[in-house]
Amino acid sequence: MQLGLLLCLMLLSPQAATFHRHRSREVKKRVKESPLVATVSPCSRDFTFDLYRALAAAAPDQNIFFSPLSISITLAVLSLGAQANTKAQILEGLGLTQQGRPAEELHEAFQQLLCELGQPREDMQLSLGNALFVGLTVPIREAFLSAMRTLYLADTFPTNFGDPAGAQRQINDYVAKETKGKIVDLVKDLDSTEIMVMVNYIFFKAKWKKGFDHKNTREEDFYVTPEMVVRVPMMVSENRYHYLLDGNLSCKVVGLPYQGNASALLILPSEDGMAQVESGLNENLLRKWLKLLTKRQLKLYLPKFSIEGSYQLHKVLPKLGIRDVFTSHADLTGITNHSNIHVSQMVHKAVVEVNEAGTKAAAATGMIFTFRSARIGPQKVMFNRPFLMAIVERSRDILFLGKVTRP
C-alpha cells in the first residue's frame, strides 16, 4: 500500500509570553460551491513548483518529499492573523491574490476544500487537520481563534510552555496519534519563550487499482548517477496504464490510479534530463498531462521505496518572498496585541512508502505526443534512475510532491 504523511509545524515566539484557550472541535457543513476555489486553490500560481525548486536547490541530488497542500494551509491560517506587509507577502507567495474580493472569501474557499477532502471514503484513507497549542498567559484575539475553528476546523489546546518538556510531550503525543504513529518526536528543543505552536497534518493511505504481484518483485540496478548504482527491490507489472511522452521536456509520464479518486503521477526524465524537467514543471503542465494521458499496454518497472523529507521552512520560504513573518518586522497583531510576536520556526515533515499493494503517504506548452491504442507490444518503462512523483486527488489537488533520487 502507499502511505503519505505530512506535518507542518510553526512556533511563534515573542520576547516572553503565552496564551489561553480551551479545546474546541466543530464539525462543519459543506459550504456551497464557490467560484473562488480555482482562484485560490492552495497551488495557484506556481507555489507548489516554486517551493519544489527551492527545496531541490537547497539539497541537490537528495530525495525530496513534501505536501504543498499542508504547507499552504498552514500559511493561510497564519495570514488570518497577519497584517500589512506581512499578510501581503504570505498571500503573494502563495499566489492567493484577492483580486478585489474580501479576504474572508479566500479563507472560505479553503474551508470548502477541507470539507471536501475530509469526507469519509471506503476505498482510501485521507485525513487532514489543524491544531493550535496555545500558552496560558498571553491573550489571543477571539476573532483569530474563532476563524481558525470555523474556517480551518482547528482544534485548540491550552499548553504550559513554562514547562517546555511537558509541552513538547503533549504536542508530540498528539502528532503521533493523528499520524497513526508514523511521525514521532516532531517537536524538539522547545523553550519557555514559545507562546504558540501550529500543527497541520495529513495522512494518506490507498491501494493501487492494479496492484503489483509480489512474486514478480526482484533485485535490479538503480542508477543514482551514471557512476553510482545501487540494488533495489523492483516491482514489475505488465498491464494497461495511463501514459504519455512529453517531447518538449523529454520525459515519460505514467499515471497509476488508486482505489478512490486519487492517482500517482510518475515522471521519468530522459538520462541527464532531470534539470530540464525540474525547471519546466508548473501546475498548468501537470494538469495538461492528466488530461492527455492515454491508456497503453506497458511493462512497468517501479522500485519499492520509502523516503522522508524534513524541512526548516523558515529558511526556505523567504526565497519565495515570504520573509517578514520570520523576523522582527512581523506584524501578527491580528493574533495578539503584542507587537513583538514572530514565527521562530516552521518545520515540515513528510514520509512516503510505496510497495506492491499501494502507497502510504502521512505536488507548459510544447509538443506532447501520446500513444493511441494500436498494440505492437508492451512499451517498457523502467524507473531505474531518479524520477518525480506527485499524488493528486480528484485531478485537482496536489497532496504530495517529491523526487526519488535514491530509493
**Lowest-pLDDT range of 59-73, 151-165, 349-363, 378-392:** 349-363
Report the amino acid identity of residue 358: G
Cell (9 digits) for 8: 507542518
The mean predicted confidence, pLDDT, of the chain is 78
Lowest mean pLDDT among 2-16, 65-79, 307-321, 389-403: 2-16
**Cell 517501479, located at residue:** 302
CA–CA distance, 354 with 265 (Å, rounded to integer): 13
Cell matching residue 389: 512523483
CA separation for the pair 68, 121 (Å, rounded) = 22
In sequence order, which ranges of 260-349 are alpha helices (DSSP H)? Answer: 274-280, 283-292, 313-316
Superfamily of domain 214-303+364-404: Alpha-1-antitrypsin, domain 1 (2.30.39.10)
Question: Which residues fall within 8 angstroms of residue 407, CB to CB, at 6 or more apart?
Answer: 222, 230, 232, 303, 304, 305, 306, 307
Q: Which residues pair with 196 in a beta bridge?
A: 12, 134
Q: What pLDDT shows up at residue 98?
A: 54
The domain limits of the chain are: 2-207+307-353, 214-303+364-404
Tell me which DSSP letter residue 139 carries: P
| Side chain identity, residue 52 | Y
Q: Is a pLDDT exceeding 80 seen at residue 327?
A: yes
Tens digits of residue pLDDT in 117-164? 777 777 777 777 788 888 887 778 899 888 888 888 888 888 888 898
In this model, does residue 319 exceed pLDDT 90? yes
Comparing 77 with 367, the larger pLDDT belongs to 77
CATH topology of domain 2-207+307-353: Antithrombin; Chain I, domain 2 (3.30.497)
Selection from 29-38, 171-180, 219-228, 303-312 with the highest mean pLDDT: 219-228
Tens digits of residue pLDDT in 169-193: 998 898 888 877 877 777 777 777 7
Dihedral of CA 132/136/138/139: which sign?
Answer: positive
| pLDDT at residue 62 in the model | 92
The pLDDT, as a whole number, for residue 151 is: 86
pTM, two decimals, is 0.82
- Amino acid (1-letter code) at residue 178: E
Q: Are 79 and 317 in contact (CB under 8 A)?
A: no
Most confident of 96-100, 157-161, 310-314, 387-391: 387-391
Question: Hey, CA dihedral for 59, 60, 64, 69, is it positive or negative?
Answer: positive
